[in-house]
Structure 1
Amino acid sequence: MENMSVNEPAKGELETVIGIDLGTTFSCVAVWDEAAGRPIVLTNSTGAKTMPSYVSFTDQARVVGQPAKSQAASNPANTVYDVKRIIGRSWNDQVVRDDAKSFPFRVVDGGNGRPKVEVSWLGAKKQMAPEEVSAMVLVELKRVAEKALGKACTAAVITVPAHFNDQQRQATKDAGRIAGLDVRRIINEPTAAALAYGLHGKKDTMDSGIAGSNVVIFDLGGGTFDVSVLSMEGGVFEVKATGGDTHLGGEDFDNNMVDWAVAEFEKIHGAGRANKLKSNARAIRRLRTACENAKRSVSSAPTTTLEVESLLDDADLSIELSREKFESLNDELFTRCINTVTTVLKDASLTIGDVTDVVLVGGSTRVPALQDRLKALFGGRIELCRSINPDEAVAVGAAVQGHILAAGDARTGGADLAGTTDLLLLDVTPLSLGIELEGREMSVLIKRNTTIPCRKSRSYTTVEDWQTSIDVVVYEGERRSVDTCNKLGEFTITGVERARKGEPKVEVTFALDANGILAVTAQDTVTGAKAGAEIKAKDGRLSADEIDKMVQDAEKHRAQDDELADKMTMQTALEGAVYSALSAARTKGDTDQVAALENVRDWLDYDSTNATLTEMTAKADFLRNNLGVAVNTD
């Protein structure tokens, strides 16, 4: 493992600011290694550098990461994933409504316009905000860092999709606070990847032409897609334009494969069994896992077999999947990805020929068809950059940004600032920001793709005679009518000059900070009356009291959680061994073996919920010693 063992910093050393890629499907944590002069990705106790963004709840405890994902098939209603798709959104958002229909766990109206996840935990129903679930993932990443570094880690840089709006950024920051983190900066994922790439280029390829380049960052993860165009010269990273889809990723490829596999199952076993399969959350979860594995296989081989033993009762599924079939299933999604690249280049006022580098970020960029289409888009003249692991690049960039911030804080303290302090990051806002005028028209103060941090002001006036107050209603979006934009919040300025309409002058100022979070003020230029607020989205926001309560609860159940993680690992291993052995025994016609294995399977299905780890281990010993079935818990 590449983890470090770091003691408390000596005088003059920089503060440790960890970099966290809080992903839809997988998350990752990295840190700057001062001794090595570079960022490194931290590994957990099993040696893994990425962790599934899953949290699973039972009557005994909760588990996070791989143990949660491993038992998702056996506990689908209480295993929560993909909350990044709904974090910072309101209950009335159509995206939330659509996702609520497809998740195996419940998403409900939590009141005050907020969606919440409902699970059964410790013997009772519990509703949790997406921020709280995300915080559980962040807590686990924080522990990975603390164990690796040998000290407490509280300061962090957390990444978000470039197209996350103000509410989603605020919600991500709240999740960090719940997890006990001081979130120093929220940065865009493709921008973080550019930092990782730029640092790499600075050390290894500056002489080969990376200076003065226009770089396309193509970031396709499990649940989100971003494209950013940056100019890079002399250590300055300037984002020219950004675009994408917060609801497009590798999981959408998986969804199409699952639909196809169910249709193939129906051809083999009939409509009745297919309908039963669709309503069996556990079977669908096993099928989805098989589809994920098949997707990876056809990225490196022309064909593979999508196989699930005893998918439904005694019905197996074994079908051939070719790369061509996978590509045809997802052709429309691939086209959306490529069209986004051309749109963002247009927004950046660049042509295909102006682009010097294309950087691939995110595990879903391993799909050969996408790589081929990108190469074709640029006429085959650009070699796609894969010099940094696409699963780790965002966390690495966040760690670089953390080091830059720490170095900035320590500039007068004599700390060693070598390595990153000559890198300057200029990011942009993904959506236009403005206020509502008479007639529900949007008046834009900060245009989309404006470099941040920034500050913009504009004068407005009254629409009625003797009006002494004005409602300032803030929106984000690209349409002329606010009816098609996203409302962020509102406040009222009173004490406006009492005069005929059109005479008073009220100056409205938008200040967008480096996190992409907005503060708005309004001031009457005559009376001096002033009002303002940090815009925190009227709908969907947690209150300060709710956040404080979640902070207190975050560590409450840790001992139970650790014990359950070991149990879930054993249960998953038992299920895999039993299903595999059952299929083999049925093929051989060994009725005694089948009967014995079905007894264990039934115990797992109906009686294992409250079983202890000792009882699970006893079942594994029975399989090994009495039936000759290996149980792999690695």
Structure 2
Amino acid sequence: MEGKVNEATAIGIDLGTTYSCVAVWNHGRIEIIPNEQGFRTTPSTVAFLDAERLIGDGAKNQIAMNPANTIFDAKRLIGRKFSDCKVQENMKLWPFRVVEGPADTPKIVVAYKGEEKEFLAEEISSMILGKMKETAEAYLGKVVKNAVITVPAYFSDSQRQATKDAGTIAGLNIIRMINEPTAAAIAYGLDNKFEFVGKINVLVVDLGGGTFDVSLTTIHEDAIFEVIAVAGNTHLGGEDFDNRMVDHCVLEFKRKHNKDLTRNRRALGRLRFACEKAKRILSSTTQTSIELDCLHDGVDFSMRFTRAKFEELNMSMFGHCIETLNQCLKDAKIERSWVDEIILVGGSTRIPKVQHMLQELFWWKDLCKSMNPDEAVAFGAAVMAAKMSGSNEEGVRDLMLRDVTPLSLGIELLGGVFDVVIPRNTQIPTRKSVDYLISKDNQSSIVIKVYQGERIKSTDNHLLGKFTVSGIPLAPKREVTVQVCFEIDPDGILKVTAKILSTGMSNQLTIGSEKGRLSKDDIEKLVKEAEKYKLEDKVYKKRVNACHALEDYIHKMKKKVKEYNTNKRVNPDSLRKMENAIDETNEWLEHNSVAPINELQRKKVFLEFVCTPLI
């Protein structure tokens, strides 16, 4: 296991597609940290208004009224190219606008403070991570820098690096990134450490808002967590189930009223919000209704939605979940009967049909529901954070994690063939070198293209980056050897080095500086911008508080005036002076609610000067 980082408090963050959660090891146990509203999970949503920026519950609560400037699903954009087919598909459904930035990078466009702003997915994710950091700091009463962040097991190297960049922009020191189902397995192992002897095989089924992962982990009684195999889909989850419902409602609206909803962003935003609510209700009852007044062109929308219809619309995706699960078991070379526990993680595992299909596959075996599916990942991340921080507590001290790489990694050979250097489900960290012969006569340089995926043709896989090795001695083909070395660190992030063995000339690929990814300078610039936004938020909150304080004082003094008029205890001239000051201040406030803080404070001081002698 890696050496400890330091003794400072470290938090675990589950950065989810739809909801995020933060936890910490505190007073000898894991504590899920509630946000300022008292909720244990926070919507992964950011909203931009005319005067302020909202993150979390406040942003989600106003999404129906401000859909074009309310950003969600940043996790579905992070580390992807604008031209990615999944990005293009989602753009048709999102109420906000996404445009192509430099190097095929997707940028989110919003109106904020009277001007158009563009944000990278890393920036939006950093705002959510910053919110989780602030939540932890308010709870613990101290500054928190170190964090373990979770990512879907099937995230590519680019997506992992982009998530790490988002953490840096948020002011966090990412001491480790771990796969979400692995974190859930750690949570289960700690929660049930006295319940088994020897070892058990745990299958984690993680179906969240935007991603689906399956992981087969062997947990040994001496706190060793050995991931055997993972499988998944970074574009399958509750959001997709919502989309099927939205599409169905759009068709129904067209059929009933002959009107097209798809061009009305606000109507689609309201409909999406209603469909998500209906989906949740259908997990506990067999039918519900969607009722929306004046949805489009003044027309109301109403329809009954049954659980059977929901299941029919999404059956193909549920089936894909089972196929992915079977692939994981096949890769692990484990029979279904060898699985001891099936752990459900992610809010979408609450869907009755998903649970029914899982039980049917495993001969009606009981599913483990002892852990909260919304909190298990953050729980496991916090355990790992405590371990990395050098905690000597029982249950953390002896923890050892052996994770795997989810996708095969390799390079492109002559003819566009993908040659695998590190196969998927190889334990990490790992290092492997392969020798290749130059394929052309008198070749002075070679371009190394690094891919991640499972297809034979290299271009059918995900291009992580490319780099050139120069200084090759001129010679006939197949006489010069290039050694290519792949190294994967504990976070699952890759470094590739190519070396000419006869000369020692070498070069390497650092994914973080790959074209289209964020450079060190980019990150520093975005860190400064993030600080600027945080400062703006603080100033806005101070101004709002000053405004509320003045409103409260005006209200309090109005009540006093009524009392004095009843009791006749105050000099009439003084009372008139007090009433005039209250009325003038109230009228001023009605027209100047966005005035600077010092003006609002001055008005309150003046009113106190007039009124205090009379109280």
- Give me the TM-score of the superposition, normalised by structure 2: 0.84
- Give yes or no for the alignment of 1:92 onto 2:83: yes
Aligned pair 1:396/2:379, yes or no? yes
Q: CA RMSD in A?
A: 2.3
Of residues 193, 196, 203, the one that matches 1:206 is: 196
- SS state at 1:258 partner: helix
Partner of 2:21: 28
Deviation at 1:449, TM superposition (A): 0.8
The alpha carbon displacement at 1:305 in A equals: 2.5
Give how far 1:113 is off.
Answer: 1.6
User: Which segments of 5 or more consecutive residues in structure 1 lack a partner in the other structure?
Assistant: 1-11, 408-414, 569-609, 615-634
Contact kept in structure 2, 1:166 and 1:518, CA below 8 Å: yes
Match of 1:338 in 2: 322
Check whether the contact 2:432–2:487 (CA below 8 A) recurs between aligned residues: yes
Structure 1, residues 432-456: CA drift from partner, whole Å, max 9, x if none? 1111111222121100111110000
Q: Which runs of 5+ in 2 are unaligned?
A: 545-590, 596-615
Which of structure 1's runs of 4+ aligned residues deviate more than 6 A? 563-568
Partner residue, 1:261 = 249
Correspondence for 2:43 among 48, 52, 76:
52
Alignment of 1:31-180 (within 5 A): 31-33=24-26, 35=27, 37-180=28-171
Aligned positions of 1:516-527 closer than 5 A: 516-527=492-503
Q: Which amino acid aligns with 1:388?
A: M
CA distance in 2, matches of 1:548, 1:401: 27
**Counterpart in the other structure of 2:277:** 293
Alignment of 1:348-497 (within 5 A): 348-380=332-364, 382-407=365-390, 416-497=392-473
Select 1:193's aligned residue among 181, 184, 201: 184
Deviations along 1:398-420, whole A, 9 cap, x unmatched? 1111111112xxxxxxx634321
Give the C-alpha shift of residue 552 in structure 1: 0.5
For the 8 Å contact 1:489–1:537, the answer to whether it is kept is no
Q: Partners of 1:564 and 1:206 in 2: how far apart? A: 54
Q: Is the 8 A contact 2:6 2:389 kept in 1?
A: no
Tell me, yes or no, if the aligned pair for 1:114 and 1:539 is still in contact at 8 Å. no
CA distance in 2, matches of 1:509, 1:164: 22
SS of residue matched to 1:102: coil
Is the alpha carbon distance of 1:250 and 1:242 closer, same or farther for their aligned partners in structure 2, counting shifts above 3 Å? same
Other-structure match for 1:606:
none
* Partners of 1:286 and 1:567 in 2: CA distance: 31
1:325–1:563 distance in 2 versus 1, CA, 3 Å: farther
Describe the superposition over 1:296-354 as per-residue Cα deviations: whole angstroms up to 9, x where unpaired: 11111122232234434654333322222221121111111111111111111111112
Note the C-alpha offset of 1:378.
0.4
- Answer whether contact 2:513 2:519 (CA < 8 A) is retained: no
Q: How many matched pairs?
A: 544
Provide the C-alpha distance between the structure 1 equivalents of 2:473 and 2:251, rounded to a whole number of angstroms: 69
- In structure 2, what is the equivalent of residue 620 of structure 1? none
Q: Secondary structure at the match of 1:30?
A: strand
CA-CA distance at 1:251 after TM superposition: 1.2
Identify the residue that residue 213 of structure 2 maps to in structure 1: 226
**Alignment pair present for 1:184 and 2:160:** no
SS of alignment partner, residue 102 of structure 2: coil
User: Of 558, 573, 594, which aligns to 2:534?
Assistant: 558
Q: Quick one: which amino acid aligns to residue 206 of structure 1?
A: F
Letter in 1 for 2:245: M
> What whole-Å deviation, never above 9, does each CA across 1:596-634 have from its counterpart, x for those lacking one?
xxxxxxxxxxxxxx99599xxxxxxxxxxxxxxxxxxxx
Say whether the 8 Å CA contact 2:470–2:505 is kept in structure 1. yes
Q: Which of structures 1 and 2 has the bigger CA Rg? A: 2
Q: In structure 1, how many angstroms separate the alpha carbons of the residues matched to 2:538 and 2:171?
A: 19
Corresponding letter in the other structure for 1:255: N
Tell me how far apart the structure 1 counterparts of residues 202 and 80 of structure 2 sit (CA, whole Å). 31
Decide whether the 8 Å contact of 2:161 with 2:511 is kept in 1.
no
Counterpart CA distance in 2 for 1:446 and 1:25 is 32
CA distance in 2, matches of 1:280, 1:92: 24
Which whole-Å CA distance do the structure 2 matches of 1:48 and 1:563 have between them? 25
TM-aligned CA deviation for residue 243 of structure 1: 1.1
Once the 2 structures are TM-superposed, how far is the Cα of residue 539 of structure 1 from its aligned partner?
4.3
Normalised by the length of structure 1, the TM-score is 0.82
Which amino acid counterpart does residue 222 of structure 1 have in structure 2? Answer: G
